[in-house]
Amino acid sequence: MHSLLTFSLVLDLGADTLASPILNCSLLGPDVRIPCYPSQSSPIRNATSSINNAIKLTISTGNSSYGPMDTSSTSFSMGLFSVNEDEPMFTYHHAASGLANSTEGVMNNIDSNTVWRIGSVWKFVTVHSAIL
C-alpha cells in the first residue's frame, strides 16, 4: 500500500511538472553594463598594445600571419573608435618608404587627417560586378 501511495504521489508531481508552462526568466535590459569609457579598461589597453606590437613586427619583418607585406610600397592608416569617447582608442599610421622620393600627388606624412583616394577601387568593383 505504501509503495502504491508513493507511486501515486510521484506520478501526480510529474504530471504537474509536465503540464506547467516553461517561463522565460531572463533579465530585463542588457545582461552586462555597457562600458562608458572602453579605452580605460585593461582588456582594451592590452588588445591595442598587442595590435600595435603585431603591426610593428609586421612592418619590421615584412611578414605577418596572413602572409608577406611589402612595406616599401604599402601605406595605411587605421583607427579604432568608441561612440562614447571623443578621442580614438587606437590609431596607427604607416607611410611606405617608397614615398620618400616620390613627387607626384603623394605625401610623406600620413596621419589622422590624410584623405585616401579610393575611387579606383570602386571603379574596379563596378567593372568586376558587371563582368560577373
On whether residue 105 sits in a domain, the answer given is yes
pLDDT of residue 21: 62
pLDDT-derived band at 16 (thresholds 50, 70, 90) equals low
As given in the structure block, the three cell numbers for residue 33 are: 553594463
On whether residue 31 sits in a domain, the answer given is no
Q: Which residues contact 115 (CB under 8 A, 6 or more apart)?
A: none
Partnered with residue 91 across adjacent β-strands are: 79
d(Cα 59, Cα 127) in Å, to the nearest integer?
32
On whether residue 69 sits in a domain, the answer given is yes
To the question of pTM greater than 0.75 for the whole model, the response is: no
Domains contained in the chain, number: 1
On whether residue 77 sits in a domain, the answer given is yes
Residue 99 domain boundaries = 37-131
On whether residue 81 sits in a domain, the answer given is yes
β-pairing, 63-64 vs 76-80, is: unpaired
On whether residue 2 sits in a domain, the answer given is no
Question: Over the stretch 54-85, which tens digit does the pLDDT of each residue have?
Answer: 999 999 999 988 899 998 888 888 999 888 88
On whether residue 18 sits in a domain, the answer given is no
Between residues 110 and 92, the one the model is more confident about? 92
Which one-letter DSSP state was computed for residue 32?
A: S
On whether residue 65 sits in a domain, the answer given is yes
Which one-letter DSSP state was computed for residue 91?
A: E
Between residues 46 and 71, the one the model is more confident about? 46
- Helix (H), strand (E) counts: the chain: 3, 4
